[in-house]
Amino acid sequence: MQEVNPSAASRGASRGRSARRRPGIQSRKPGFWRRHRWLRRTSYVLVAGVLMACAGVGTGFLVLAAFQVGLPSVADLPNLGPPRDSFLLASNGTLLSVLHEPGEQHLHVNLNQVSPWLLKATIAVEDRHFYQDTTSVDLPRIIEAGIHDALHHGSLQGASTITEQLAKISFLTPAQTITRKIRELLLGFEIAKTFSANQILQMYVNRIPYGNQAIGIGTAAELYFNIPASKLDLAQASMLAGIPDAPSAYDPLNYIGVKGPNYAKLRQAAVLQTMVTNHYITQAQADAAYKENLVYTPWADSGTLLAPNFVSYAVQRLQARFGDSYLNPGGWTIYTSLNMADQQAAEAVIQNPANNARLLADYRIGDSALVSLDPRDGEILAMVGTSNYNGSVGQINMTNSPRRPGSTFKMFTYTAAIASGKFTMTTPVLDAPININGYSPQNYEHYFSGICQLQNCLGNSINIPAVKVEMITGLPNVVSMAERMGATGLLNPQNTYGDALTLGGLSIGLTELQLATGASVLASGGVLHQPTAILQVVSGTENIYQYDVAQNSIQVVPPDVAYIMNAMLSNNNNRLKDFGPSAHLTLPGRPVSAKTGTSDAQNAAGAYSNNIEDNWTFGWTPQLVTGVWVGNPDGTTLSSVTSGISGAAPLWQTYMEQVLSGQPVLWYAKPTDLVQVGSGPYPYYYLPNTVSYANQQVNCPPAYQSNWNGTC
C-alpha cells in the first residue's frame, strides 16, 4: 500500500473539521492542566529535576569525591599570606626604606588594628551573611548568580563569599570555570569548619589586593591616606572597601583632577548604600561620608628619598647574609648603623649645588662621594655615593666602586715598613731619580727634595721615597699588610699591580669603603672592624640577628705600629713643605690624622699620564673616620691644578668640623713598649730595638745613592 503524506493544508483542514461541534453533542469545559499549561510544564520540569537529582545523588558524591582529590590542606592557610613588607630603619628609628617583592607591598595588621568602618563596609559589599553563615556558601547570592547566568548565557557571575574568596586567592587561580568554582566551594567549606569568622576575616583583609601594588588593608590605608588602618573614617573606609572588586577601575588616584565619570566615587556610593541597606549606617551618615572631600597622600617608597646609596648597600649586605628571606616571608624590622645627623651633614656637603658648580668650573670635578665610619666598631655612620642622585650617573654608588687610590695607598706601605722594623719615623730616605728595571717614578711636584726623614716623606706624600720604602720592605709584605687592613680588592686576580702599587698603580683599584676601612684600622689602634651596616634584625618577637662587635674585631696591626703611624700622619709639620700651614687637613683644637691622594689617568697604551683622574682625602680621629672622593665616574680627567688639598680636602674638613662639634677631643694612649725620644707636642717614637739605628742608613745603603736600581 502506498504511504500517504498529507499536505500542510490538508492537516490544517482536518484540524478544523475535528473541532466543529457535532449535532446533538454538548461541548466540555477545558480541564485544569489544559487551562494552565505553563504550570503543567513547570511541574514536569520540577519532577524531572527531582528524579534526576535522586538518580544523580550517587554520581554527585563520586564527582565531589573526585574534586576533593588533590585539594590542599586548609590547615596551612595561616602560613600562606603574601610576603610582608620589611622596614629598614636608621639608628634613631627613622624609616629609610620599605623592602618588598617587586610588584606588591604588604603591611600585615591584626583585626583589632582595622577600623570597624572598613570591616562593616567590606562585609556589607562582599558577604552580607558572613557572620550568620555556618558554612562558606551564600545561598541567596548563588541562586541570584545562577539565574543571571541562565538568562544571559554569559560567563559565571561571582557569587563567592568572603570565605570562598579567601580560598581562591590563597589556593586557586582566578580562572572562571565550573571546576575552579567547585574547588572553591569545597575549600571554603573546609575553611569555615576550621577557622573562626574573625580569623577568616583577618586573613581576608590582609590578602585582598587594593590596587597600586597594595596587598591588604594595612598597606592600602598607608598607600592612599598615609594613616594606619585603625584610623580610617567612614568615607575613607567605604572608598577602600570598594576597590578590590576592580582595582584598576576603582583606583581613586586615577580620577584626581580628571573630568568625566569617576567610577571610584560611584563605587563608594554603592558601598555606602549597601551599608545603609544592611543597617550598618543611616542614610544621613552615608550622605555625609559621600560628600567628604578625601585627600590622598600616596605613600611613596622612602628608599628613593632617604640615604639611597646607603639603603642599596644595606640591602646588598642583607641579601648576602640572609638571601631573600627579608622579602619572603619578610615582615622584618631591620635596624641599621646610619646616623641621620651625620648623614644629613654629609648630604649638605656633598650635594651642595653651589659648591658643586664651583668644583666643576674650577677643577672639572663632576661628582663626589663621602663615607664615614666609627673606627671603634666598624659601623657606617654616613654614606653619600654621589653629588647628584638624580643625575646621569647618580645611580652609581661611588663609595663602593673601585677607583685607583693614588697616594692614599701609602698608608698601607708605610704601616708595613714600620712593622717590618726596617724603618723608623726618622729614617732618612733620599728623594732622587731612580730607574728600576725601566720604571722611573715621578714626584707629583716634579722636583726632588734630597734626603728627607720618613715622616716628612710620608707627610708630603713624595713618590720616589715611597717606592724605595716599598721595595726595601718588600712588595709581598706591603700587599699582605693592605689585605689585612681591609683592602681585600687586591685579591681580585684582575686587579694587577707592580712596583707602582704604593702610588695607587692598580689596574682596577680599590673602593672608597675599602680605603676607609684601612684608615679605620689605624684609627682603632690596629684593630680591623669590617664595615657594618646592619645592627639588628627582628621579626615579631624573634631576634634574628644582633651585631656583635667582639666577633668583628681582629688585631691586624700591632698597637705600637698604629700609634707611630698616627703620630706621623697627625703632625701638620710633616706636610708643611708641599701642603703649607693652612691645608684643609686640620681640625681646630683637635688632633687628626690625614692622608690625601691623586691618581693619574692611563693612556691608550696603559701607561700612566700626568692627567689627574681621582682625588682623595682620608682623615680620622679615635671616634670618626671619613673618606672623600672627587672625580668623574666616566673617567673624564680633572684640571691640572687639582690636588689633595684643593679637591676633596675642603669637603672632608667641612664635614668633620660639623659632625665632631661638641664631641670630646680624644687621642690615643701611648703603648708602654714604645721608646719615646724628646718631648713637646711632637716627640719621636720607636719600636723596641729600632732606636739604635733610627737616624742611620743601615738597612739598604745603596738606596741612599742616586740611580738606585732597586737592589739592596
- What are 159-190's pLDDT values in tens digits? 578 998 998 988 877 777 777 778 888 888 88
User: Is pLDDT at 34 greater than 60 in this prediction?
Assistant: no
Candidate from 52-66, 256-270, 509-523, 689-703 with smallest mean pLDDT: 52-66
Kindly report whether the global pTM for this prediction surpasses the value 0.75: yes
User: Is pLDDT at 46 greater than 70 in this prediction?
Assistant: no
pLDDT-based confidence at residue 580 (cuts at 50, 70, 90): confident
Q: What is the pLDDT of residue 546?
A: 98
Q: Where in the chain is the domain with CATH 1.10.3810.10?
A: 110-291
Residues 519, 527 contacting (CB under 8 angstroms): no
Residues 591, 667 contacting (CB under 8 angstroms): yes
Taking CA 255 as the corner, what is the angle to CA 254 and CA 259, rounded to the nearest 5 degrees? 140
- Whole-angstrom distance, CA of residue 552 vs CA of residue 701: 42
Q: Where in the chain is the domain with CATH 3.40.710.10?
A: 348-532+554-704
Answer whether CATH 1.10.15.40 is correct for domain 110-291: no
Candidates 684, 482, 677; CA nearest to 567 is: 684
β strands within 375-444, DSSP E: 379-384, 428-431
> What does the pLDDT average to over 379-402?
92
At the topology level, CATH places domain 348-532+554-704 in Beta-lactamase (3.40.710)
pLDDT-based confidence at residue 465 (cuts at 50, 70, 90): very high
Candidate from 70-79, 273-282, 638-647 with smallest mean pLDDT: 638-647
User: Is pLDDT at 9 greater than 50 in this prediction?
Assistant: no
User: Is pLDDT at 22 greater than 50 in this prediction?
Assistant: no
Chain center to CA of 204: 28
User: Is pLDDT at 301 greater than 60 in this prediction?
Assistant: no
Candidates 459, 522, 470; CA nearest to 497 is: 470
> What does the pLDDT average to over 125-147?
65
- Whole-angstrom distance, CA of residue 66 vs CA of residue 192: 21
Percent of the chain topping pLDDT 70? 83
- Whole-angstrom distance, CA of residue 569 vs CA of residue 591: 10
> What does the pLDDT average to over 74-102?
92
User: Is pLDDT at 92 greater than 90 in this prediction?
Assistant: yes
CA dihedral sign of residues 114, 116, 120, 123: positive
- Whole-angstrom distance, CA of residue 518 vs CA of residue 524: 10
> What does the pLDDT average to over 96-100?
92
Q: What is the pLDDT of residue 356?
A: 93
For residue 219, with 0-12 CB atoms within 10 Å meaning exposed, 13-18 middle and 19 or more buried, which class applies?
buried
> What does the pLDDT average to over 339-351?
98
Q: Is pLDDT larger for residue 138 or for residue 234?
A: 234
- Whole-angstrom distance, CA of residue 703 vs CA of residue 461: 18
pLDDT-based confidence at residue 357 (cuts at 50, 70, 90): very high
Beta bridge partners of 599: 614
Average pLDDT for the chain: 86
Q: What is residue 580's DSSP assignment?
A: -
Candidate from 185-194, 272-281, 329-338 with smallest mean pLDDT: 185-194
Q: What is the CA radius of gyration of the chain?
A: 40
Q: What is the pLDDT of residue 137?
A: 53
User: Is pLDDT at 96 greater than 70 in this prediction?
Assistant: yes
Q: What is the pLDDT of residue 650?
A: 95
Q: What is the pLDDT of residue 606?
A: 44
